[in-house]
Amino acid sequence: MPYTVPRAGASQGGRPRWWTELPLIAVVYAAYSAGRLLARGDVQTAVDHGLSILRFEQSLHLDFETPLNDIFTKYASIGVPADFIYASLHYVATPALLVWLWKRRPQDYRLLRTWLLVSTLIGLVGFTLMPTCPPRLLDDAYGFVDTMAQYSSYGWWGSEASAPRGLGGFTNQFAAMPSLHVGWALWCGVALWWQGRSVWSKIVGVLYPLIITIVVMGTANHYFMDAAAGMAVMGIGFLLARPAMRLAERVLARFRDSGDATPGPGAKDAASGASASATPVGDGCETSPRERERIPRQQQRSGAAAEAGGHGESDAAAGPRGADDGAAAAAR
């Protein structure tokens, strides 16, 4: 049975090596974060987009963020926990679940990881093409209250989204469309429902994206359409996950094949040196001087045998003459 060498970057059992996964995820997240900062857009354009979304929702009676924000603003017992959820779970639950999947569900980890990364990059495209002012940054005449600013004394955040105080310049407050808070929460919910073994994991898988959707609207950080767009982005990302995996495999395979097919300068010199030092000893056979040095005893034995054979042939050839001379002497 042939021995198969494990593919580079993957451990036995299908789990990718952690030292290849961490750089991949770090690079994608760094590109996502940098893209959010670069895709700030014009303030007036972002405000116009936000108002267009709000008017569209109001025309269809889909502006659920309006009554939810009134409740979160009126009752601190609801608004404060919601602010903590918005400011923390997005950055804790998703990486924790990703690590759990890598460790416990390696057979499906690649697909789920690729789904998350592809969807995140699609969301970045949305931030770039459509910078959107969230409800909390609209004029007060529209009736929205920034609950994170209202309850900032309870947490580490200030008046600039969920960023810690003094670090608001490192976030893009117009990256509202689509809502990746909702998108990542939906990913977590599907992963828990699919990969969880207990009833509780499935219950959490249903409740978590629902709670996050309510929280992002109640805190006035997103419109309902932002949440719907976040779900749509995850749907597109899921459809593209398998093709992205196949494309990555083809690129890596081509890269490995090109590396194996191109010998280095040392290999070429060694090959030319070996052919130059080879000495022909027969039809189509060659023996290098080093190989001849390794078997001196066999060469000596071959020489001795050749000499013995030569003497034997001389005696055999001389034998008939001696017999003829003896016969002649007897005749005399």
Selection from 112, 109, 94, 99 nearest residue 15 by Cα: 109
CB 122 within 8 A of CB 236: yes
157: three-class secondary structure by DSSP: strand
- The per-residue pLDDT for 271 is 46
284: three-class secondary structure by DSSP: coil
The per-residue pLDDT for range 89-144, each reduced to its tens digit, is 988 999 999 999 999 999 999 999 999 999 999 999 999 899 999 999 999 999 99
Q: Give me the mean pLDDT over the 28-41 stretch.
A: 68
DSSP class of residue 5?
Answer: P
The reported pTM is 0.71
Highest mean pLDDT among 38-47, 53-62, 122-131, 310-319: 53-62
The per-residue pLDDT for range 172-218, each reduced to its tens digit, is 788 899 999 999 999 999 999 999 999 999 999 999 999 999 999 99
Using omega within 30 degrees of 0 as the cis cutoff, is the peptide bond preceding 178 cis?
yes
282: three-class secondary structure by DSSP: strand
Residues of the chain above pLDDT 90, percent: 52
Q: Which residue has 């709000």 as its token pair?
A: 54
Distance CA(203)–CA(90), nearest Å, equals: 19
C-alpha distance from residue 129 to each of 177, 229, 245 (Å): 9, 13, 26
Handedness of CA 275, 280, 286, 292 (dihedral sign): negative
H/E stretch holding 93 reads: helix 76-104
236: three-class secondary structure by DSSP: helix
C-alpha distance from residue 314 to each of 126, 306, 321 (Å): 100, 12, 11
Q: Give me the mean pLDDT over the 288-304 stretch.
A: 48
The per-residue pLDDT for range 3-27, each reduced to its tens digit, is 443 444 444 446 777 777 878 778 8
